[in-house]
Chains A and B, each alone.
Chain A
C-alpha cells in the first residue's frame, strides 16, 4: 500500500515563526502536492511538484514556499507564520506521467495553529 506520512498531526506556532511541514511518501511517486483544508472551503492547492527540484504554484501560493530535494520528500515552508495560516494541511502524492488522471494518495494531515 502507498503510504504518505506527515511529520506532525498537530502543531502550534507563534506569529512570525518559520514553520516547516514535512511530507514523505514511500512508493517512488513522481508527483507531490500540498493542500490546505478549511471548513466550508474544501481543499485548495498551494503548491505541487512533478520532479525533484521542480515546483509549480497552485491556487493559493502566497505566504508559502516549498522544497523538494529528494524524490520522496516534499516540504512546505511558512516563512513567517500568520494567524490566517491556521488550517489543516494535507500532503498528497501520485505516480507519474499525466498528473491529471492519476489517483492522489493523501497523508493524514497536519493541523497547524498559529497564535
Chain B
C-alpha cells in the first residue's frame, strides 16, 4: 500500500520569499509522483510530475520538485512567492507496478502568502 504525508496543513511565507512544501511518500515499488494545485472554488490542476528520468522536475508557474529516493521525498519549491500562489497544494503518488489503482493524495497544504 502506498501513502503520502504532507508536513504542515498550513504554510505561510512572505511575498518574494522561498516556498517549500514538503511531501514524503511510502511505496513498495518505484513511485510516480505528482503535485497538484487547487485555487479557490476550482478543481485541481497539475503543477508537475515525476515518472522516470531526471529527478529534478520543473513545472508551471516557476515551481519545481526533486525526487529523492533515499529520503522518500518529493518536496515542492519556488524561489520567490507571488500573491497568486496562494492556494491548496496536493502531493500524490501512484504505483508504477502496472496496477490501475489511481492516485493516492496527501491531505494537502494550504499556502498563505503574506504581503
Contact = CB atoms under 8 A, between A and B. Distances in A.
Interface of A: 4, 31, 33, 35, 40-45, 48, 50, 56, 58-59, 90, 92, 98-101, 103-109
Contacts, number: 69
Contact of A106 (B32, B43, B94): B43
A107 B45 CA distance: 9
Interface stretch (B12-20, B68-76, B78-86, B97-105): B97-105
Interface in B34-89: 36, 41-46, 49, 51
A100 to B, nearest CB: 4
Contacts of B96: 100-101
A106 B99 contact: no
Nearest to B4: A42
B22 interface: no
The B contact surface, by secondary structure, is loop
Nearest to B52: A101
Number of chain B interface residues as a range: 20 to 34
Contacts of B94: 99-101
A98 B101 CA distance: 10
B43 A90 contact: yes
Contacts of A59: 104
A58 B102 contact: yes
Contacts of B42: 108-109
Contacts of A33: 102
Given A42-B105, A100-B32, A108-B41, 10 more contacts: A4-B43, A40-B9, A42-B90, A43-B105, A56-B101, A58-B102, A104-B44, A106-B44, A108-B42, A109-B43
B41 A48 contact: no
B100 A56 contact: yes
A40 B107 contact: yes
B102 A48 contact: yes
Nearest to B107: A42
Contact of A45 (B36, B41, B102): B102
